[in-house]
């Protein structure tokens, strides 16, 4: 079952522009995560409502300031890309894992006419919003998009009792 990794659902405004969006976010300490699901929120409020995802979403491990049309697997920092599902979210392959204590960036491609909720008071301290109006993504340091990133915590298996007994036996025979 997916759990929320990070979100910002306190939006004060809704964009009306025709551009693509981006948002950086920080994965807090703890577990690594896979089965990553991302969505933006379309309606301002506390919390925001109307989850949406349209077009393609790119996940990067570095900031991208190029044109949305140039995003691809060869983009520096590229981790993965996915297309929107019918459920108003983007779902990445289960093989994609994001790490704790790490900054990531998500960028859209192909959603120019969809409004997105945002907070103009930069209320999410661990990231910033981006927009591309046709000349490349630019950081909007005074704003954050309304978004949610969720996934499944990666469980590190405990050593088996047979392995522990074997290690104990090796130590005992020395």
Digit-by-digit pLDDT tens for the chain (174 residues) are 789 999 998 888 787 677 899 999 999 999 999 999 999 988 877 777 788 888 899 999 999 999 999 999 999 999 999 999 888 899 999 999 999 999 999 999 987 666 788 888 878 899 999 999 889 999 999 999 999 999 999 987 666 555 555 555 555 555
In which domain, by residue range, is 120 found? 3-173
Cβ burial 20-57 (10 Å sphere, 16+ → b, else e): bbbbbbebeeebbbbbbbbbbbbbbeeebebbbbbebb
Q: Cα dihedral sign for 65, 71, 74, 78? A: positive
Q: Name the pTM for this structure.
A: 0.86
Task: Please give the helix or strand (H or E) that residue 168 lies within, else none.
Answer: helix 161-173
Question: Residue 163, class by beta-carbon neighbours within 10 Å (0-12 exposed, 13-18 middle, 19+ buried)?
Answer: exposed
What is the tally of structural domains in the chain?
1
């Amino acid at each position: 079952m997916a759990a929320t990794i990070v979100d910002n659902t306190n939006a004060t405004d809704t964009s009306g522009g025709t551009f693509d969006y981006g948002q950086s976010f920080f994965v807090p300490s703890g577990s690594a995560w896979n089965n990553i699901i991302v969505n933006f929120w379309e309606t301002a409020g506390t919390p925001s409502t109307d989850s949406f995802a349209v077009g393609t979403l790119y996940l990067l491990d570095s900031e991208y300031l190029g044109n949305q049309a140039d995003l691809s697997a060869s983009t520096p920092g590229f981790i993965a890309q996915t297309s929107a599902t019918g459920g108003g979210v983007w779902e990445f392959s289960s093989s994609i894992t994001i790490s704790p204590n790490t900054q990531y960036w998500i960028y859209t491609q192909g959603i120019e006419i969809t409004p997105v909720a945002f907070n103009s008071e930069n209320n999410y301290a661990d990231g910033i919003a981006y927009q591309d109006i046709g000349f490349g993504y630019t950081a909007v340091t005074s704003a954050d998009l309304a978004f949610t990133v969720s996934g499944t915590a990666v469980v590190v298996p405990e050593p088996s009792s047979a392995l522990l007994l074997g290690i104990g036996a090796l130590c005992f025979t020395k």
